[in-house]
Structure 1
Amino acid sequence: MEKTVREQLLPIEKVFRDPVHNYIHVQHQVILDLINSKEFQRLRRIKQLGTTSFTFHGGEHSRFSHSLGVYEITRRICNIFARNFSIKDNPVDGWDDSNRLIALCAALLHDVGHGPYSHTFEGIFETDHEAVTVDIITSPETEIFSILNKVEENFPEKVASVITKQFPNPQVVQMISSQIDADRMDYLLRDAYFTGTEYGTFDLTRILRVVRPYKDGIAFTTNGMHAVEDYIVSRYQMYMQVYFHPVSRGMEVILDHLLKHAAKLYQKDANFFQLHSPLLVPFLENRYTLSEYLKLDDNVLNCYFMMWCEHPDPILRDLASRFLNRRPLKSVKFVANQDEPLIAEMTEIIEKLGYDAKNYTAINSSYDLPYDFYRPNQKSVRTQIELMEHDGSLVELSKQSSLVQALAGETHGDERFYFPKEMYQPASDLFQDDTRLFASYIHNGKIINPNKKSN
């Protein structure tokens, strides 16, 4: 009898050599077909770290490699669960391996809807990469849908339901999306490797050794608590030292202002953009289709930015040049609800020197919650990390770990005021009095009141 598509395994497994996981193993024909689909191959052309690569030059890796990594960690977890914690041996808390292919496909495809320079692009054109991911998986016009649809009836919808966290098995959902999931574990290790930092490293082998399924999701044995602590601290350090780096954020501000200014100019000079940036026009007109979305990637935008360097508008030319040639805005920390009057005074000086404040200044806030526990008053409740005792009982992580408790439930980060770096480097003596006045508002990287004497 001919095997169903779900059961079709490759004659010999396919492997991808990976700097983080060594080998990524592919046994299912469906997984290989998904990797070879045009929608998934597009992820090769989208950077995982966006503007962070302007600060950490090694961070040029793609969402393609990250997605393969998430798949591989998920595959390993499925193997561990099937081998040691099968539902056949434990009907209540065990793992049902019939969910394996759904979990693997969801892990592989979880980021397929990301656009160019993902989060900045989303904020300007009001796209949603998770919603686009679901569209790609469930739309009959994509190769990915065609591949998934051959597995069984409604299989694309089942995979999409993992992305939207509506899949009925919480073990599968938490494997892909929780406070310690395959997605986060891969991007921490991968981003640490490529940025050349040590902050994101943790003991993945030990975490996989202590992971356990139970009826409501995934837990970790109490004797593996220190490995989980290490992961939490590593994630915290990566956000503070890498993801929230002020220079990367300065480049993100440039990109944000560049795209917003282009959208504004389109209303006056549509012909230029239709001629030199045709694939972006549907977004400038807010009428894009899924097919048009999938034509965009980082390379397309960078090519358009090069064309914009020739636009007659001096602000568009300058912002495009600043982005392409890595000339980020400089920044200074400030205290919210205290320093706004000082920022207004600094902005006046900037405008006096000829800069348009809307395009050359910004307030940027970057905060992260390293770990959260269940709080019923929250609008969006995170899945807390559970530790499993020898008797199978569960205890929330921060109740056992004083280290995690110190980080739990509290956001960390800062707020910064961004401005042209030239404010510290005047082009001529004509502006030195103004730039000296501007500099008097800054001390040790923070905004101060120049009229008050320090203690």
Structure 2
Amino acid sequence: MEYSAEKLHEEKVFKDPVHRYVHVRDRAVWDLIGTKEFQRLRRIKQLGTTYLTFHGAEHSRFNHSLGVYEIVRRIVDNVFAGRPEWNEEERLLSLCAALLHDLGHGPFSHSFEKVFDLDHENFTRMIILGDTEVNEVLSRVSFDFPKKVAEVIAKTYENKLVVSLISSQIDADRMDYLQRDAYFTGVSYGHFDMERILRVMRPTEDQVVFKHSGMHAVEDYIMSRYQMYWQVYFHPVTRSSEVILTKILHRAKYLYEHKYSFKHKPLHFYSLFEDNVTVEDYLKLDEAVVLYYFQIWQEEEDVILKDLCCRFLNRNLFKYVEFDPAKEYKKLTRLSVLFEKAGIDPEYYLVVDSSSDLPYDFYRPGEEEERLPIHLMAKNGELRELSRESDIVDAISGKRRTDHKLYFPADLIEKGRGNSAIKEISELLEL
């Protein structure tokens, strides 16, 4: 029997709080889960610093990746199987791409990427194509199988239907993380009727579409996503912790570049500071490693690094006020001058943070490529774009919502009462 078709002697299951069970029958999938690169995802939180806002948000990229795999497995085994538009030979490819789609995430994911100018999707492909256990397993299927999996994740694979399963405006990735993140944060916003969505899902030549009768379930999904972004993902307290995390990493890099003598050498960060990260270096990084450094940096001589690490680990976060950069830039400039006068470095302690989301969009040529529209299929087979049929979705289509906050250490300002600069700072921030 070919490895690509090999099944386990008996089905393996993972108990899952969202999908009840994750089912594995394919030898290749089981072997991928056992690789050290995939097991590393247990040590990367799905929601980064959100656990400092919602204390239940301790779930990992490992949890989520299994969930995405399970949704795709249900689609290809229960929904698409036997349909002429679906090529059964691409079943295992779809399952492996779903399982591995987040393989390249680093510690604290997006915050980490911004500081060091990294791209987790690039690292995902490099791990899949490199000298890794994952590559070894995939290569047993066929010599070009790792390349195909990498192409699906890069959205360049020739069969766009396979790509759309894990990368579209309604895909297995989003369907899992909305439900999983809602479950672990304890909020009610992210719930929608996934079973109904799967029942009305249909394959076409180049994308997944939905029966018109399932429109309301799709509307519910879009609104769940909208609510989750503003109530959970962009929560201002989480953003405060991300601001501090980002500033710790910036400070450590700055000190390294200026030949500061660390008490404990940040060996794991050297390749990041020097902008020459290899896959081997990258795979050694997880959140336990980063938090270890934050722990020991609390004892550094550098006052800023020490203070920021103490704040992050002890959840002494920055406060915030609403802020409009377009209208209040003069205020920001004045605040920067006053912070300097008060002995508080504005580079690290006065931060504008912006969050922006586009909940749904129809296709706009030349703009974001991934925003292919969601299509509904009428009884006669005609495809109609979702926002043309749904008043609810039409109301939010193409509308980008942006929110700006100004973050600062209220405790340092409080301590400096009596200082004339601090007095003006307090007035400007309306403290």
Confirm whether residue 97 of structure 1 aligns to residue 97 of structure 2: no
Match of 2:148 among 158, 162, 168: 158
- The structural deviation recorded for 1:153 is 2.3
Q: How does 1:167-178 map to 2 (within 5 A)?
A: 167-178=157-168
Name the SS of the counterpart of 2:415 in structure 1.
coil
Partner SS, residue 398 of structure 2: coil
The answer to whether the 8 A contact 2:86-2:203 is kept is yes
- Aligned-residue offset at 1:288: 1.8
How far apart in 1 are the matches of 2:261 and 2:122?
A: 31
Alignment of 1:71-86 (within 5 A): 71-83=69-81, 85-86=82-83
The 5 Å alignment of 1:271-350 reads 272=262, 275-350=264-339
Partner of 1:422: 411
Greater mean deviation of Cα atoms: 281-290 or 342-351: 342-351
Are positions 1:17 and 2:54 aligned together?
Answer: no
Matched, 1:189 2:176: no
1:150-208 deviation line (CA, Å, top 9, x unaligned): 00120000111100111111111000100000000000000000000011111111111
Pairwise CA distance, 1:442: 4.4
**What is the match of residue 210 of structure 2?**
220
Contact 2:56–2:186 under 8 Å retained in 1: yes
Letter in 2 for 1:262: A
> Partner amino acid for 2:120?
H
After superposition, the Cα gap between the structure-2 partners of 1:136 and 1:429, relative to the gap in structure 1 and judged at 3 Å, is closer
Q: 2:129 aligns with which of 106, 118, 138?
A: 138
AA of the residue aligned to 1:361: L
SS of 1:371's equivalent in the other structure is coil
Match of 1:256 among 221, 246, 261: 246
- In the TM superposition, what whole-angstrom CA distance separates every residue of 1:273-329 from its partner, at most 9, and x where no partner exists? 7x4321111111212211010000001000011111111111111111111111111
Q: Between the two proteins, what is the percent identity of the paired residues?
A: 50
Amino acid of the residue matched to residue 155 of structure 1?
F
Aligned twin of 2:381: 392
Q: Which residue of 2 aligns with 1:409?
A: 398
SS state of the match for residue 230, structure 2? Answer: helix
Which amino acid in the other structure matches residue 386 of structure 1? H
Secondary structure of residue in 2 paired with 1:187: helix
Aligned AA (2:428) = Y
Equivalent residue for 2:198, pick from 198, 208, 231: 208
Q: Name the SS of the counterpart of 1:228 in structure 2.
A: helix
AA of the residue aligned to 1:174: S
In structure 2, which of residues 53, 58, 61 is the aligned counterpart of residue 60 of structure 1? 58
Q: Name which of structure 1's ranges 303-312 and 331-340 shifts more when overlaid on structure 2.
A: 331-340
Q: Which deviations, in whole Å up to 9, do the C-alpha atoms of 1:378-412 show, x marking residues without a partner? A: 25351110001111110000000010011110111
Provide the residue aligned with 1:47 in structure 2.
45
Distance 2:135 2:408 in 1: 46
SS at match of 2:51: helix
The corresponding residue for 2:340 is 351
- For residues 16-74 of structure 1, the C-alpha deviation after alignment (integer angstroms, 9 at most, x for no partner) is 00000000000101101100100000000000000111101100100000000000000
The alignment's TM-score, normalised by the length of structure 1, stands at 0.92
Structure 2 unaligned residues grouped into runs of 5+: none
Deviation digits for residues 250-273 of structure 1 (CA, Å, limit 9, x no counterpart): 111111111011001012346527
Matched-pair contact (CA < 8 Å) for 1:276–1:304: no
Q: CA deviation at 1:333?
A: 1.5
Q: C-alpha distance in 2, partners of 1:30/1:271?
A: 47
The alpha-carbon deviation at position 347 of structure 1 amounts to 2.8
Show the counterpart of 1:179.
169
- Equivalent of 1:438 in 422, 425, 429: 425
Aligned to 1:114: 105
Q: How many residues align?
A: 431
Q: Which residue of 2 aligns with 1:32?
A: 30
- What SS class does the counterpart of residue 354 from structure 2 fall into? strand
Runs of 5+ unmatched residues, structure 1: 88-93, 446-455
Give, as a single letter, the amino acid of the residue that structure 2 aligns with 1:193. Answer: Y
Q: CA contact under 8 A between 2:80 and 2:203: conserved in structure 1?
A: no
Secondary structure at the counterpart of residue 426 of structure 1: helix
Asked if the contact 1:16–1:23 (Cα under 8 Å) also holds between the matched residues in 2, the reply is yes
After TM superposition, what 4+ stretches of structure 1 lie above 4 angstroms from structure 2? 433-436
The correspondence for 1:123, drawn from 114, 118, 122, is 114
The question of whether the paired residues in 1 share the 8 Å contact of 2:44 and 2:61 is answered with yes
Alpha-carbon spacing, 1:128–1:268, altered in 2? closer, same or farther (3 Å): same
Matching of residue 372 in structure 1 with residue 370 in structure 2: no
In structure 2, give the amino acid aligned to 1:355. Answer: I
Q: Among 268, 283, 300, which residue is 2:258 paired with?
A: 268
Which secondary structure state, in structure 1, belongs to the residue aligned with residue 202 of structure 2? strand
Question: How far apart are 1:414 and its partner, in Å?
Answer: 0.3
Contact 1:366 1:415 in 2 (8 A): yes
Question: Aligned partners of 2:175, 2:241: CA distance in 1, in Å?
Answer: 26
> Aligned partners of 2:206, 2:133: CA distance in 1, in Å?
34
Q: Structure 1 residues 271, 32: closer, same or farther in 2, change over 3 A?
A: farther
Superposed CA offset, 1:406-425 (max 9, x none) = 111011130111111226x6
**What is the CA distance between 1:217 and its match in structure 2?**
0.8
